[in-house]
Every structure is written in C-alpha cells, then in structure tokens.
Amino acid sequence: MFVDEAKIFVKAGNGGNGCVAFRREKYVPRGGPSGGDGGNGGSIYLEANLNDNTLLRYRYNREFKADRGRHGEGSNCTGYSGEDMILKVPVGTLAFDDQTGETIADLATPGQRVLIVHGGRGGRGNQHFAKPWHQAPREHEDGFPGEERHLRLELKLLADVGLVGFPNAGKSTLISVISAARPKIANYPFTTLEPNLGVVNADGGTGGHGTELGRTFVVADLPGLIEGAHEGAGLGIRFLRHVERTRLLVHLIDTSDSNDENPIHSFEVINGELAAFSESLTEKPMIVVATKLDATTDRARLEALRDFCKQRGLEFHSISAAAGDGVKDLVRSMADALDRIPRAAQDSSLRLPLTAAENNEHAPGHDSLPTPVKDS
C-alpha cells in the first residue's frame, strides 16, 4: 500500500532525578553528600532510508516515546541515559509541526538524520549543592521533561522526470517500456492509482561485465489528471506533490484516432491544473509527447500539436510505446535535457543532528529554565 501522508506524536524521554545520599563509612573521614545525577532522556531522530518508499509504518503506529533517563544513585553514581530512538522515513519526506505548520525537516538525502525532539536533561544530585557553610545538603533536582511534538509527515518522491497527462495517455505503458517498473496497464481511465517509479538507462549500457551503465535517471508515473482536478475531480491533485521535486516534466498527449479530445485543448487543461496546484510547476522545463502513434492514421491533429509546441518553444516528440517507435530518441532527449538542468542545492537551513556536547548544551532547561531544586 502506498501511503504518502501520516500524523504521529513523538515524545522524548524525561531526565532522571538527582539523588540525595551521604557517605557514612567508618574509615572515610571526609564523607558527606554523594548523590549522583540523573541520566539524560533519549532523543528522537528522523532518518532518511533509501530502502523505504512509503509511510505505511506510521499509518497505524502513531505514538513514539523514547526511554527516560534513570535516577541517580549513591556513591556519586550517575543514572543511565535513555536510549535515542531513530524513526526511518523514505528519502524525500518533509516533517511539519502539525500545530504551528512550521517545516521542521526536509530529508532529501539518503542517510540524513535530523533531531526532532530533545531528551530532557537529568537532575543534579545533592553532591552539587555542598558548600563550606552548607556541608550536608538535602537538595536535589528533578529531571527535566523531554520535548514532545505532533508531527505531520509528507512524502514527496524524488524523481528526475515526472510524467503527466490525462488518464489513458500512455504514461504507464511508457514507463514499463523504458524501465523495469511494471505498473498496471489496462484500457480504462484511472488504471494507475498510485505513483510508480522507474530507473531509466539512457545510453543502453547494462553496467555488468565492465560495461558502463551510462546516464541514468528516475522517472515518476503520476496518476492521470482531469479537468477540475484542483477542485477534487477524479483523483484530485493529491499526487502532484510528487512532481514538485522533479527537474523535468514530460507531458503525454493521446493523439490516436480513438481519442476525440483536441490535443491542444488537452495540453491547456493539464497545464491549467498544474498552475492551480503550484505556479512553480508551470515554470519547469517540459517536453511534449504525442503518444499512440501506431493508432494514429489521421495526422492532422498530430501536426497541429507539433506546430503549437513550436510556437511555444516546447520540445516535441511523437512515439508509440507499444511498437517502440521514437522511444529511444525520447529517452535520449530526456537525458540531454536533464544534463542542461542543474540539480537544486540542498537547503543549508535544515536542522542537522547535534553532537553530544551540543545536545547537553541545548537540552531543555539547560540554561533557559529555572533550576527546580527540591529539599528532601
């Protein structure tokens, strides 16, 4: 099952309490307070995992709590710190604070790990409160609570090329021909109910026995759009977030005799739906592809679409994915277009995991909160 949205609750571990203890051994002349500190609570991280492609594991398990720190003990023994929790998510996952809408993390790189909630700092034992004028302190600190958050996770698939178009325009057939993806293909609308990804080798190498693999890129086949999708018609526009990260759009238009729709009108309808979702999608480089060439006997509409694209300065191809006509040229054109489009630089403002020293420095209550001292 493909799941691209989930809401979860995360709670970091609380810090352990400090201990009140005294040394009273017979042959220890300088005894006194020996209460150890509480351990720090465990933190929770999100990690981008290349082997995941869905948020299904967070559809039913919605609460995640890290271990708390153990309380301090006598003989100046510090309690064990709680174990950190790592939640693995697919590459391309965005994490939002569900209450404020703030973007917390954008995990766009495999292996990237982001701190989501800090564990609470452990409280101090009474050994820290000893003074020359107060040599038997019974004060100690309780552990500080760990942070907690309600998160909304949103997956945006990472692909270089996004295939868009009306239902039955030939998107699934094309991706099945140019890659190892095997989406469901049938002669009725909305056959594709979830995005499919395929890796395409543009130069024909296999990568085995010393053969160079050549240029490769990832193509995403998006479920078909229809007029009014931005208002919820058909499958709506819920899958269009997956083409926001793509560098190139390939717009497939059915020009076969069996399709009564005007190809130019089809192009304008889909472009209108893209603009209704996000203006940035209309600014992406685009290749227009007329499909089902083998079922096109009347070439008038095909040529009209070709002239329309020429006037707009759009690259145009006509193919038959079933017969293989024009497919290799299209794949090479995709690769050439991607070579000309730079990859987006990673956002330097992403929250990265903190070191142990930084974790202690910025732990909840370290500097900003008053010290809750308890007299036992």
pLDDT at 64 over 80: yes
Q: State residue 349's pLDDT score.
A: 35
pLDDT tens string 245-283: 788 999 999 888 888 888 898 888 888 888 887 788 888
* Mean pLDDT across the chain: 80
Which pair of tokens denotes residue 83?
Answer: 């174990």
- 267 and 252 in a common domain: yes
**Radius of gyration over every alpha carbon of the chain, rounded to an integer in angstroms:** 29
77 and 177 inside one domain: no
> What pLDDT is attached to residue 39?
94
How high is the pLDDT of residue 347?
A: 38
Provide the pLDDT confidence category of residue 357 given band limits of 50, 70 and 90. very low
Residue type, 234: G
CA angle 338, 175, 56 (to 5 degrees): 95
Least confident of 27-41, 60-74, 200-214: 200-214
CA distance 96 to 94: 7
pLDDT of residue 9: 95
Helix axes 327-340, 171-178, angle to 10 degrees: 80
Task: Return phi, psi of residue 265, to 5°.
Answer: -65, -40
Do 371 and 279 fall within a single domain?
no
Q: Are 194 and 103 part of one and the same domain?
A: no
Question: Do residues 136 and 269 share a domain?
Answer: no
pLDDT tens, position by position, 195-232: 777 788 877 654 444 444 567 888 888 776 766 555 55
Domain of residue 209 covers: 161-340
- Judge if 77 and 188 occupy the same domain: no
pLDDT band, very low/low/confident/very high, at 149 (cuts 50, 70, 90):
very high
**DSSP code of residue 283:** T
CA–CA gap between residue 348 and residue 350 (Å, rounded): 6
**pLDDT score of 226:** 66
pLDDT given for residue 124 in this prediction: 94
What integer pLDDT is reported at residue 355 of this predicted model? 35
Question: Which tokens is 260 given?
Answer: 């009564």
With pLDDT > 90 as the criterion, what percentage of the chain qualifies?
A: 31
Angle at CA 87, nearest 5°, toward 81 and 91? 140
**289-326 pLDDT tens trace:** 998 888 888 888 889 999 999 999 999 998 888 888 88
Q: What is the DSSP letter of 346?
A: P
**What is the model's pLDDT at position 188?**
44
Q: Are residues 140 and 176 in the same domain?
A: no
CATH number at residue 81: 2.70.210.12
Beta-sheet pairing, 248-254 with 286-291? parallel
Going by C-alpha positions, the residue among 140, 110, 102, 108 that lies closest to residue 17 is: 140
Cα 165 from Cα 191, distance rounded (Å):
13
Instruction: Answer yes or no: is pLDDT of 353 > 90.
Output: no
SS3 state of residue 105: strand
Q: Could you tell me the pTM of the whole model?
A: 0.68
At 305, give phi and psi (nearest 5°): -70, -40
- Domain shared by 30 and 139, yes or no: yes
Residue 368's pLDDT is 37
Say whether pLDDT at 108 is over 60. yes
- Token couple for 162: 């996004």
Higher pLDDT, 355 or 36: 36
Q: CB neighbours of 197 closer than 8 A, spacing ≥ 6?
A: 53, 157, 159, 181, 218, 219, 220, 221
pLDDT at position 104 over 80: yes
* Domain count along the chain: 2
Q: Do 221 and 358 belong together in one domain?
A: no
Say which residue, 364 or 165, is predicted with more confidence.
165
Hunting for tokens 């990568």 — which residue is that?
Answer: 207
User: How many Cα atoms within 13 Å fall on the side-chain side of residue 116?
Assistant: 35
pLDDT above 90 for 71: yes
pLDDT of residue 144: 95
Question: Residue 351: what pLDDT?
Answer: 37
Q: Do 167 and 311 fall into the same domain?
A: yes
pLDDT beyond 90 at 65: yes
Going by pLDDT thresholds of 50, 70 and 90, the confidence category of residue 118 is: very high
Q: What are phi and psi of 175, to 5 degrees?
A: -70, -30
User: What confidence category does residue 17 fall into, taking pLDDT thresholds of 50, 70 and 90?
Assistant: very high
Instruction: Give Cα 149 to chain centroid, integer Å.
Output: 18
Instruction: Tell me what pLDDT residue 233 has.
Output: 53
Query: Could you tell me if 139 and 12 lie in one domain?
Result: yes
Looking at the structure, tell me whether residues 183 and 135 fall in a common domain.
no
CATH number, domain containing residue 320: 3.40.50.300
What is the reported pLDDT for 207? 43
